[in-house]
Amino acid sequence: MHDALLPLSVFFASIFTSNILLTNYLGTCSFLSVSKEMKTSLGLGVAVIFVMATTTPLNWLVYEYLLLPFGLEYLRFIVFIIVIAAFVQLTEMTIERYSEPLYQSLGIFLPLITVNCAILGVCLFMVIREYSFFTSFVFGLGSGIGWFVAIIAMAGIRVKLKNAKVVPALEGPGITLIIAGFMAMAFMGFSGMIAVS
């Protein structure tokens, strides 16, 4: 793979072939609970894109210039989570300031972004795969979009599902997980298009 093309392929791979939610199961908790409604899914999806696209490069800088020179790599979990928490706080304040209804509908879910495994997961993947600064940014953005696509698709399906008869025991998380499985299968159809290690 040509080096100049790497960011591009990472971008598409993180949306389709290695979707952070459907192939790595990251962020499943909030995915299952939020995808009930289209509106909240949209809000959370956008918030995730924003937080991922900003925190991943930020954490790259912190890792490269703060942790590596002092040999503090083992502290990365703590440091990454602090950066993410600070950013989530910022997002929360921004949304509260500019869009009251969105803030109301997201409610308790915004703080949940801090413990959204997908965000920390992307940062940890970036370290392990040794991406450059720009590639990390693209990877964060792409993963965010991938998560957004998955949750929107699921919310759309679940809207239709309201009219369907589901076995009582499968209602809610059960059927959502089965649908997620089928979505993961559908997304596997993309594999082979782009391969990124």
What are the residues whose beta carbons fall under 8 Å from the beta carbon of 53, sequence distance 6 or more?
137, 140, 141, 144
Structure tokens at 160: 């239709």
Q: How far is the CB of 33 from other proteins (least distance, A)?
A: 8
The residue among 119 and 138 lying less far from other proteins, judged by its C-beta, is: 119
Give CA torsion, residues 23, 24, 27, 29, to 10 deg.
90
**Contact residues for other proteins, defined by CB under 8 A:** 22-29, 32-33, 74-78, 81, 85, 111, 114-121, 124-125, 127-128, 167-170, 173-175, 177-178, 180-182, 184-185, 188
Q: How far is the CB of 1 from other proteins (least distance, A)?
A: 21
CA distances 27 to 22, 43, 52, 123, Å, are: 10, 15, 12, 13
The residue among 71 and 101 lying less far from other proteins, judged by its C-beta, is: 71
Residue 125 buriedness (CB in 10 A; 0-12 / 13-18 / 19+): buried
The residue among 3 and 15 lying less far from other proteins, judged by its C-beta, is: 15
The residue among 7 and 172 lying less far from other proteins, judged by its C-beta, is: 172
The residue among 4 and 169 lying less far from other proteins, judged by its C-beta, is: 169
Q: How far is the CB of 46 from other proteins (least distance, A)?
A: 20
Q: How many CB atoms lie within 10 A of CB 123?
A: 28
Which of 117, 118, 155 has the alpha carbon at shortest distance from 37?
155
Q: How far is the CB of 2 from other proteins (least distance, A)?
A: 26
Q: How far is the CB of 26 from other proteins (least distance, A)?
A: 6
